[in-house]
Chain A
Amino acid sequence: METKPLPVKWYGPYSFVETKDENVFTSLIGEKERPLSIYNPF
């Protein structure tokens, strides 16, 4: 069975601790899109 990759796109980084431009509670998805370098193998 062929499976299609899911269109998963990561956004962030956000922070629990609020600053004006970095806030996980109020920021809108898509507001902050940055190049992502992350420690995982896939």
Chain B
Amino acid sequence: MKKKGLYLFTILFEGEYLVYYVGETGTSFSIRMLQHVQSYLDGFYRVFKPEEFARGKKVLLWGGMWKTDRKEPKIICEFLQKNSELAPKIVKFIEHFRIFVAPLDEVNRIRERIDSEIAKSLNLQSGFIADFQDHDVRYRPTRQMNNNLEY
């Protein structure tokens, strides 16, 4: 998977795919997916209880370490203390992902804009489709004023 482009993390839910995360990469799918796995396994990303997650419900298991208020050493200590309990559950959690990729050779900014619009569309849905998104993920949407002139 040396190609770059857009990707979706979904779960199989009632015979269809429910999107959890929309991403894009300018490196390669393979490298980016490995980065995601590393970030789950080392506690950087938040993780939800796997059984509930598989049923479309997000019950927080681990809060991750990427937010400003989670960067303190005590949070890493907490992760280490809970590691034997968390580690198998994190693996279970990522087992549930079903990943779709869309190769796209456009420049980075185009990819970012598409990424952002897909995420926005999902967030604007009502009910569990929007609820299944993490609402604090930062995307880089199209600028309002110069829609046709610049990225």
Contact = CB atoms under 8 A, between A and B. Distances in A.
Are A and B subunits of one complex? yes
Interface of A: 1, 6, 8-17, 24-29, 36-42
Nearest to A14: B99
A8 B125 CA distance: 22
A39 B91 CA distance: 25
Given A37-B16, A40-B19, A16 B114 contact: no
A11 B99 CA distance: 9
Interface size class of B (residues with CB under 8 A): 35 or more
Interface of B: 1, 3, 5-6, 8, 10, 12-13, 15-19, 29-30, 33-34, 36-37, 91, 94-95, 97-104, 106, 110, 114, 118, 121-122, 124-125, 129, 148
Contacts of A24: 1, 29-30, 33, 99, 101
A31 to B, nearest CB: 10
Contacts of B3: 29
B23 to A, nearest CB: 12
B10 A13 contact: yes
Contact of B100 (A12, A25, A28, A42): A12
Contacts of A38: 8, 10, 16-17, 19, 100
A1 B12 CA distance: 39
Contact of A39 (B17, B29, B95): B17
Given A17-B94, A39-B13, A40-B121, 17 more contacts: A10-B101, A11-B101, A12-B8, A12-B101, A13-B12, A13-B98, A14-B99, A24-B30, A25-B1, A29-B29, A29-B103, A36-B17, A38-B10, A38-B16, A38-B19, A38-B100, A40-B129
